[in-house]
Each structure stands twice: as C-alpha cells, then as structure tokens.
Amino acid sequence: MTHPAYPISNSIMSNIDRLRSESSTFLHYTSLEAFYNIMDTGRLRFTSAKSTNDPSEFLFGKEIVDRALEEIIPELNARDQQVVSECKTDLPNRDFRAFVFCMSEALENEEAVGELSQWRLYGGDGRGIALVFDVSDSIRRSLMETQGSIPRKVIYGEEEGLALVKDEIKAYFAGIGQLPKSELDQLYRENMTNAGYLGNRLFWLPSVIKHKAYSHEREVRLIRGDIGERAGNPLIFTERGSIRRPAIELPMCLAYNQPPHDFNYSTICKIIIGPSGDQSAIEDSIKFYLEARNYRIPVLKSNIPYRAI
C-alpha cells in the first residue's frame, strides 16, 4: 500500500487531552557544547525518535501500539475489526520519521535549581545547563506551537500506553462514522484506505509512550516530521558512538536570521547552570557569551549540593 506524504504536525495529530500538559514551565537539560550551538544559531535541535538516549524506548512504544491493535479487536464490530487488522499489517511498512525535542515539566522551585537526576543524565553530569521555557502567556505558547509544536506529555507504563492507543482507535471510528458518504468516497479516490487513515492517527504514538521506570522525568515533547528541503527543515547529522544520527533544527525565536539584538523574544525565559565544581567559571563564560550576542536572558546557578567525580 502506498501512502501520500503525511507530515507529523499540529494539523494531523489530534489534541489528546491526556497529552496536554498543565504546566507552563519546562526545562531542557543539555551539554555546554549544545548550549553554545543553540545560542549561536538561534535554533533548537530535534533528534530522531529512534536516536534518543534510551535506544529501546521507541521499540517499547511500538510494542504497546501493536498490543492495543490486537486487544481491541474483540470490542469492535466486524467492519471495524477488518480495518484494524489491515492497519496492524500495514504499520510495520511505514517509514517512521518523527523528530523530537525533549523537555521536563518543572515542579515547584525546579525552575530555579533543576532536578538532580536530570543533571546527571542529560545535563553533562552537572556540568551542563538547563534552558527554562515559559509558555505562561498566549503569545509564548503560540510561539512554541508554531515554531516547534504543541507540547505533549509522555505517557509512562503499559496500562497507560494501551489506554491511550485504544482511546485513539475508538475516537477514530467515532469520527469517521460521522463523515458523509461523499467525503468518504473522496478519501478512497485519493488512494488511501480506511486502515491507512487509522495508521496516520497511530503511527506517531510510539514517540510519546515510555517505560514506567522513566516516569520521574515528567517528559514533555515537541514532535515534528516535516523534514527535507521542500519543508524548509533540511536534515543535519551529529555523530555519537560512530553513528551519524539524523536531526533537524528549528528557530527558537520570532526573529531568526535577524541581528542578535532582535531575536530576544523567545520562549526561553532563563538559563540554569548545573551544580558542578566548575560552576563559577561556566557562569562567567555564559554571561559574557550572552552579552556579546545581545541576549538578555537571566542566568541562575543551581544550588543543589552535588559535585560530579
């Protein structure tokens, strides 16, 4: 079966209530090298969902989607059972190309100091930084959604993941059942089957389902799939472990490609320096670095009592 181009974007992904974050503050932990690159380019890097720090997470999410498709069949009528069966057969043939930018929901006081396990895992073992994103007002939230995507929470664990996928399948059939016959006929004339459209609704879900062991991360993701020169998001490659991993970069500010003093309006509201022994030297570097580029972003130092070995 062939599929028309169907990029992952705000327009194709349903606004699943349980994936809507109630938080308005998110933290992105990263290395100093990555931080300097962000400030130099004014762009955030979205990495392939198959190239994240946990190489098994996409496989876990995919297994959950497959199980949900299998388990829901007895709950459906004969027509919908056939659609699900076709979708289950077809999904492995799809070329899954989601790119994600990962953040964490900030708990009380974390927007000033960060969280220790996150510093250890993603923030250079305390020697990196955390970008603090603020989407508390409508302008900044709109900026994040149009420049990146809608922030979506990651779902943790088998039960929650299965419930998410099954709810989406049921919602799909409820929606398609309300379409007039003329619209359904048009869909089929476009060489897309009912099962294909169900697949469009499901194939990105593995990128927001993780094992419950990671629930402490309270992860929120921006997800994009519109890649390539025609989409304006050409692929770049970063090498890690001798593997050149694909990524795309998207602007973090409204005035990208303008003089530095013009691209200060961003969803980044502050920068936290990790709790390493080099904290003072890093603070000195970052403050001068931002000043030289006319960024006006507050810089804080995490006061978590931790010193990496």
Q: What is the pLDDT of residues 233-271, one digit of tens each?
A: 788 888 777 878 888 888 776 544 444 444 456 788 899
The per-residue pLDDT of the chain, averaged, comes to 82
| Two tokens, residue 163 | 């419930």
Residue of 223 and 163 predicted with greater confidence:
163
- Percent of residues, the chain, with pLDDT higher than 70: 82
**Partner residues linked to 223 by β-bridges:** 100
The answer for 156, left when phi > 0, alpha when psi is -120 to 50, beta otherwise, is: beta
Full DSSP string of the chain: --------STTTS---GGGB---SEEEEEE-HHHHHHHHHHTEEEEEEGGGSSSTTHHHHHHHHHHHHHHHHGGGS-HHHHHHHHHHHHHGGGS----EEEEEEE--TTHHHH--HHHHHHHSGGGTSEEEEEE--SHHHHHHHHHHT---EEPEESHHHHHHHHHHHHHHHHHHHTTS-HHHHHHHHHTT--HHHHHHHHHTTGGGGEE-GGGGGG-EEEEEE---BTTTTB--EEEEETTEEEEEEEEESBTTTTS-GGG---BSEEEEEE-SSTTHHHHHHHHHHHHHHTT----EEE--------
The answer for 23, left when phi > 0, alpha when psi is -120 to 50, beta otherwise, is: beta
Residue of 46 and 178 predicted with greater confidence:
46
- Percent of residues, the chain, with pLDDT higher than 90: 34
Query: Looking at residues 157-162, what average pLDDT do you find?
Result: 96
Work out the pLDDT band at 79, boundaries 50, 70, 90: confident
- Report which of 154, 212, 169 is spatially closest to residue 75, judged by C-alpha positions: 169
pLDDT at 253: 67
pLDDT at 1: 38
220, 154 Cβ separation under 8 angstroms: yes
Residue of 8 and 304 predicted with greater confidence:
304
Backbone phi, then psi, for 241, in 5-degree steps? Answer: 60, 40
Work out the pLDDT band at 286, boundaries 50, 70, 90: very high
Write out pLDDT tens, residues 31-59.
999 999 888 888 888 988 877 666 677 88
What is the pTM (predicted TM-score) of this model?
0.84
Pairing of strands 209-210, 155-156: parallel
127, 164 Cβ separation under 8 angstroms: no
Residue 261: partners with Cβ closer than 8 Å, 6 or more residues away: 294
Query: Looking at residues 122-144, what average pLDDT do you find?
Result: 89
